[in-house]
Amino acid sequence: MNNPHHLKYAKTHEWVEFLPDSTLKIGLTDYAQNEMGALVFVNLPEAGDAFSSGDIIGDVESVKTVSDIYAPVSGTVTAINEELLDTPEMINADPYGAWLVQVGDAEIDEPLLSAEEYEAFVAEGE
Amino acid sequence: MDLLFEKSVMDRRSELLPPLDVPETALPEQLARKTAPLLPELSEGDLSRHYSALEKRAYGVNSGFYPLGSCTMKYNPAVNEKCAKLPGFCEIHPLQPESSVQGCLAALALAEEYLTEITGMDRMTFQPAAGAQGEFTGLMLIKKYHEARGDHRRKKIIIPDSAHGTNPATVSMCGMEVVNIPSDEDGCINIERLKAAVSADTAGMMLTNPNTLGIFEKDILSITEIVHEAGGLVYYDGANLNAVMGVVRPGDMGFDIIHLNLHKTFSTPHGGGGPGCGAVGCKNFLEPYLPYPVVTKTDNGFRLDYDRPDSIGRVKGYYGNFLVVVKALAYLMTLGKEGIPLSAKTAVLNANYFMHLLKKRYTVATTGVCMHEFVISMEREKKERGVTATEIAKALIDRNIHPPTVYFPLIVKEALMVEPVETESKETLDEAARVFAEIYDAAMEDPGAVHACPQTTPIGRPDEVAAARNPVLRYRREDNDGA
């Protein structure tokens, strides 16, 4: 697995990138997109939506299944990656480039995993 | 293959309509269309060939082995069809006076009597046209029950993560919220997680038993008790009833509501969109809320009771797909009190026999005996050789076997869900197991070999992504003219 070390990870297979302006970006891990297979739709929240850790903030649909996207942190949506709505396959092609939402006022209620910890967690579940 | 619209030739006719024997009247001006509809124009011969060609391209239970998990693709006896074609059943009108359709009402009442006995329910409606509509009806009963008691807080329905996808969809359709609980290692409900999930806003729980892994929920009595104690009701998804019909009754397990797929379990044909029947049974305390009309016995026959002030209303026109109920009744009467449980036991025996044969190569997701179906995981083969559930499924098509259900239940990776049903013989199962093994060996030896499958079908591997994202749902002449 090739999970970037500058990101943090949730057990529900989202990654979190901390940005210099103290906002953060959330995306789906390579493992998640690989398990889902070719994605056909993505539903994202709207800018301004507030949520808590563990809330469902969207979903992704592949030819096989539909999966919820869980919030790895609490916060408010400041932006969504609108490009994904028309081209969800970008998540398959570049999971760590294809961010889903940008979040402000973020609070980490549940501890996030490092790349190594996430890989160990995935390996354990295999 | 051309569509009927593409085969159409202007003014070519099929004289199928009898001569007009009543006075002709025009439609009111505002209802009459201004231009003729663009209907295909063909001769009867062309039409007949078209449908025969379509039939050749289709695959049904009469074509071969059809182990589609959770779909109970059993053989549908011809006697069912014979009964449904009796003029007294099929040449009636839904608005005929009750006195002239007493036999039909008696058939509905008898089917209700047998099916409530089998399921341990008190009353039943045959109005829902299919399982999903049955689920909708059942959840509306739960909603109504709480509202009638003035309890408006209860909006949450507990569903295990192994559930049929229709369950959470139904909850959303009814304006309620899903509370998902993760299953145990063995695919069963975790009692502690269930206890933690119930609360004062629990409206109920939806469950299928045996579950989608083909395992009987061993703690079912505790499960229903926990939900009841929290003030919720328990709904039985009848998709898997084939494993237990006539052996154990959902009503005795503590379920309050059940839907049956008569088109699965009770051998009326299905697939391709119907018609089906998602009969809904309930305990007496929910009876006032059933869709109307209900068939009621009187001193000298039966009547349709429309005076149901607490009813949730109608979910379909008239009485549902009546002839589907007639076919199910024919099946019930053919098998009788001994045949129904024997059928369930044979389904379980067949599944265990077939599982035993496949286990020599494939990995089964559960241990021990299964009920009417079992789930294979291709996770290891995918990792080692790139051989996925899809690859096996596609290769089976070329060997005249309908693939099992794939990628379901969601809790098993690379799942192949196999339900061999009771109407398959030992010879069929032996031969199918041989084919499953051959495909497995060929794919593991040379994973590329199965990539080209299927080759015997009119369409090989459709572009699933394009089909999902840009579905072409209807023919439009303007899109095709001059193309």
Q: In this structure, what token pair is assigned to residue B220?
A: 């079912």
Range of the domain at A76: 8-104
What's A54's DSSP letter? T
CB A51 within 8 A of CB A75: yes
CA nearest to B414 within chain A:
A35
Q: Across residues B171-195, what is the average pLDDT?
A: 93
- pLDDT computed for residue B347 by the predictor: 98
Chain B residues closer than 8 Å to A38 by CB: 464-465
| Number of domains forming the structure of chain A | 1
**Interchain contact A116–B (C-beta under 8 A):** no
Host H or E run for residue B125: strand B123-125
**Interchain contact A87–B (C-beta under 8 A):** no
Chain B residues closer than 8 Å to A89 by CB: 465
Q: Across residues B160-169, what is the average pLDDT?
A: 92
Instruction: Indicate the residue type of B274.
Output: G
Chain A residues closer than 8 Å to B379 by CB: 126
CB B212 within 8 A of CB B218: no
**Spatial CB neighbours of B427, under 8 Å, sequence gap ≥ 6:** none
CA nearest to A87 within chain B:
B469
pLDDT per residue as tens digits for the range A31-76: 999 988 899 999 999 999 999 999 999 999 998 888 889 999 999 9
Whole-angstrom Cα distance, residue A17 to residue A8? 7
Whole-angstrom Cα distance, residue A53 to residue A69? 11
**Interchain contact A55–B (C-beta under 8 A):** no
In a domain, A49, yes or no: yes
Nearest CA to B374 among B399, B404, B414, B400? B404
Out of B6-10, B194-198, B427-431, B479-483, pick the least confident.
B479-483
| CATH numbers and ranges of domains, chain B | 79-334 (3.40.640.10)
Whole-model pTM: value is 0.90
Q: Which of B379, B410, B464 sits opposite A63 (nearest CB)?
A: B464
Phi, psi of B334 (to 5 degrees): -70, -45
* Side-by-side strand order, sheet with B280-282: B123-125, B280-282, B257-259, B233-237, B202-207, B156-160, B177-181
- pLDDT computed for residue A1 by the predictor: 63
Host H or E run for residue B332: helix B322-358
Q: Across residues B5-28, what is the average pLDDT?
A: 89
Angle between helix B102-119 and B322-358 (nearest 10):
30
Q: At residue B149, does pLDDT exceed 60? A: yes
Mean pLDDT of chain B: 94
Q: Do A38 and B407 touch (CB under 8 A)?
A: no
Q: Which of B410, B413, B468 sits opposite A40 (nearest CB)?
A: B468
Q: Which of B379, B410, B465 sits opposite A38 (nearest CB)?
A: B465
Torsion (CA) A62, A63, A67, A68 in degrees, nearest 10: 50
Q: How far is CA A28 from CA A13, A37, A91, in A?
A: 6, 13, 7
CATH code of the domain covering residue A66: 2.40.50.100
pLDDT per residue as tens digits for the range B185-201: 888 999 999 999 999 99
**Interchain contact A61–B (C-beta under 8 A):** yes
Residues B437-463 as b or e (16 or more Cβ within 10 Å = b): eebbeebeeebeebeebbeeeeeeeee
- pLDDT computed for residue B483 by the predictor: 42
- Indicate the pLDDT class of residue B64, thresholds 50, 70 and 90: very high
Residues B340-363 as b or e (16 or more Cβ within 10 Å = b): bbebbbbbbebbbbbbebbeebbe
Q: Which of A40, A64, A65 sits opposite B469 (nearest CB)?
A: A40
- pLDDT computed for residue B170 by the predictor: 96
Q: How far is CA B232 from CA B104, B131, B177, B285, in A?
A: 36, 22, 14, 14
pLDDT per residue as tens digits for the range B19-57: 899 999 989 999 999 888 888 999 999 999 999 999 999
pLDDT per residue as tens digits for the range B231-251: 999 999 999 999 999 999 999
